[in-house]
Structures are given as structure tokens and as C-alpha cells.
Amino acid sequence: ITFGIQSGNFNIREKIGRRKTNPKIEEVFNLCHKHGIRVGADIIFGFPGETVEQAMETIYLCRKIKPDSCHSNVLIPYPGLSITREAVKNGYLEHDTTKDEMSKLDDNKSLIKQNNIKILINMDKLSYYMIKVPSMERFLKLLLSLPPNIFFKFLKKLPLLKRRLKYSSIGTFLSLKFMKKINNGNGSLNKQIVQQNNDWKKNIKLSIRIRILIRNFLLKNINNRVQRFRRNTGLADRDI
């Protein structure tokens, strides 16, 4: 089950018609965890007028409810929505959006015009790590000041790739075990299944090595970018 939480700030949720309180959301997720139901959360960053502090409330709520999966996006102000009309009224959009504007939009951009929008875009890309690894919050907050980039987009996709690999691998393993069980001693087919099982194990080991190499490369690259950014701007080691 996936619930559309959208934001950890009640005032923002209320504006889009989501009037459940944070304690109620926590209660529902705790109930799902209690009964072994896998539960996901949909969250959005970049609401008109949203502050970094309000966006962090979304991170903190997700830490409390501990979703099995978390899907984040930058707000897309589709034509005709009440939140789009509200954004136009309050000056966050110049006009009601068009289908042509929607088709040219990517997830490293937003049509919403406000000073902190680049930070909120980066929060979308790094939200998984901010939720799952609270100890990295201070470091990740420094990264939020960087311009949105392709590396952050790749970091956002990594957990999804990991999840797909996990469940596709489990499915392959169970299928092979089932085939062995129903084969009832057919020697040639058993040998083929054993070979497939060995190939599957090799692929898993290879994929793990590749993921480690990618992670190390990205961490080194990001660290270099952060250090260069701090040298160029004189940014102190402080929270945003």
C-alpha cells in the first residue's frame, strides 16, 4: 500500500485537501507495520511558498513512520488545479500552466518561482538519504546549496534500482527452487537449473561490486564538488 502524504506540514496538506493530522498518519503506518503490510509514502517538495523548514518537516515525519519505500517528486502545477490557481494568485506562477510547458519540464526544474526552489529540488533528490540516514543530515544540508545536477538525479534513482534488483532476484531464486521441486529428479533439467542458480549468484555478486564502485565514485565526486563550492563561496560549516 502507498499513501499520498505529500507533506509533513499540516498547513500545506490542508491547502491540497489532505486534512489528516501527523499523529493520524503515524497511527496508520504503525498499524500497517504491526500486521506486516508493506507500506510506502508519496511525498512532494516545491509547494508554492514552502520553506526549507516546512520541507524538513516532511523528512522528519517520514523518519517517524518508517515507510518501506518512499517516492518523492517536485511539485508539478498542472493546468486547472486549485494549487496552480493559488500559485498564480500569489505570484509564484506568472500564469496558468500549459500542456506545452508541462512537456518541456524535467525533474531538475520547477515552474514555481521562489528563492529557495533549487534547494527544494535538491531535497527531492536527496530525501531518501536524509530519511534513512539521519546522521548525514548536516552534510546533506550543505549539498542542498549546490545547483541541481545529474549526480543528484542518479542518487535519487539508486534506491529504486536496489529495490528492483532485490525483488527481481528473490523472484528468480524462488522460481528456480520451485522448478527443482516439481522436476521430480529429472537429471538433465536439474543440472540446467543448478547452472542457472550459479549464474544468478554470480550476477548478484557482480551487481554488488558495481554498486559499491558507483557509490565510492559518487561520494568522492560529491565531496570534491562540496569542497570546491565551499572554497569558492567561503561557505562556513553551518546549517542552512
At 59-111, the pLDDT tens digits run 999 999 999 989 999 999 988 888 999 999 999 999 888 888 887 888 888 99
**What DSSP line would sit under 53-120, residue for residue?**
HHHHHHHHHHHHH--SEEEEEE----TT-HHHHHHHHTTSSSS---HHHHHT--TT--S---TTHHHH
Q: Tell me the pTM.
A: 0.70
Angle at the Cα of 120 (from 226 to 93), degrees rounded to 5?
Answer: 135
At 28-70, the pLDDT tens digits run 999 999 999 999 999 999 999 999 999 999 999 999 999 998 9
